[in-house]
Amino acid sequence: MTDTAGDQESPRAEDDGRGLAELFAFLRHRITGQYEVDEFGFDAELTDKVMLELVRPLYRHWFRVETVGMHNVPDDSGALVVANHSGTVPLDALMLQVALHDDHPEHRALRLLGADLVYRLPLLGHLSRKTGHTLACRDDADRLLRKGELVGVFPEGFKGVGKPFSERYRLQRFGRGGFVASAIRAGVPIVPCAIVGAEEIYPKIGDLPLLARALGLPYLPITPLFPWLGPLGLVPLPSKWVIGFGEPIRTDEFDPADADDPMLVFNLTDQVREVIQQQLNELRLRRGHAFPPLF
């Protein structure tokens, strides 16, 4: 009787072999320059194989992110994803990027529009460009949307991400509605997005304004763990996350010239804000306890 079990390669060995092959292929592409970078500096291969790979453990095992309504995000056409911003440290931007790349059936790349502070910092600005992000300005937003890209924006800006824990899940002002005007000019839908979970990772209970001003930062938070525990206080709390994508709001029924109508833009901006606030309220109930057991 012949034992053939030892002749069969185990699934784990196959996975290890495949992983090594992908690693060697990636290194070969980098060394030989056989990779593409678009006009904005976006390096899709580096983003997927390195940048997103570094934060996937947070996404899958620490925050245990659940996505809802992914079918509302277009498969291959331009759209503007508008989300709430929170968490003291903007990890919500990274988790949203992983969600759309890993959980969308077409693995869509999210091109986030960032504040100018990001691009004044040499290393952070360079990495942001490499991962597909660009400055939150009209020209870049319009070009990306007209190219059929999925563009993401956080209209609350630093007011949202830096708000105190006592104001959690209450949306701040959405600015002047520049994102709505860009969507109208490009004729693409606006996909309202609500992110639940980020508010609890670094509960902001205070601020150090003088030190923040000296460092050129919009704020320097005090949390229950930071700065008291030093570097250990920088570990985010393992809250449960839910990211929901609402029904798209069409803009193709408007004329591109309507983007210059301040009242129309204001009303549509207010509509988007109200939809996201309602989504937040619903998703908080769906999620339940903010800190369910990790295991």
Range of the domain at 111: 51-201+236-287
Q: Which H helix or E strand runs over 283?
A: helix 262-287
Bridge partners, residue 206, by sequence: 222
The whole-number pLDDT of residue 2 equals 45
| 154 found inside a domain | yes
Q: What is the dihedral of CA 113, 218, 58, 50, to 10 degrees?
A: 50
Q: How far is the C-alpha of 240 from the C-alpha of 287, rounded, in Å?
A: 7
The whole-number pLDDT of residue 105 equals 97
| 66 found inside a domain | yes
- 40 near 134, Cβ under 8 Å? yes
Report the DSSP pairing between strands 221-222 and 206-207: antiparallel
| 164 found inside a domain | yes
Give the total number of structural domains in the chain: 1
Does this model's pTM top 0.85? My answer is yes
Tens digit of each residue's pLDDT, the chain (295 residues): 444 444 555 555 555 556 555 655 666 666 665 668 888 889 998 899 899 999 999 999 999 999 999 999 999 999 999 999 999 999 999 999 999 999 999 999 999 998 877 777 777 788 888 998 898 889 999 999 999 999 999 999 989 999 999 999 999 999 888 999 999 999 999 999 999 999 999 999 999 999 989 888 888 999 999 999 999 999 999 999 999 999 999 999 999 999 999 999 999 999 999 999 999 999 999 999 999 988 7
The whole-number pLDDT of residue 122 equals 72
| 33 found inside a domain | no
| 103 found inside a domain | yes
The whole-number pLDDT of residue 216 equals 84
Q: How many CB atoms lie within 10 A of CB 202?
A: 26
Two structure tokens written together for 141: 């937003």
> Looking at residue 173, which CATH number applies to its domain?
3.40.1130.10
237: which DSSP letter? P
| 142 found inside a domain | yes
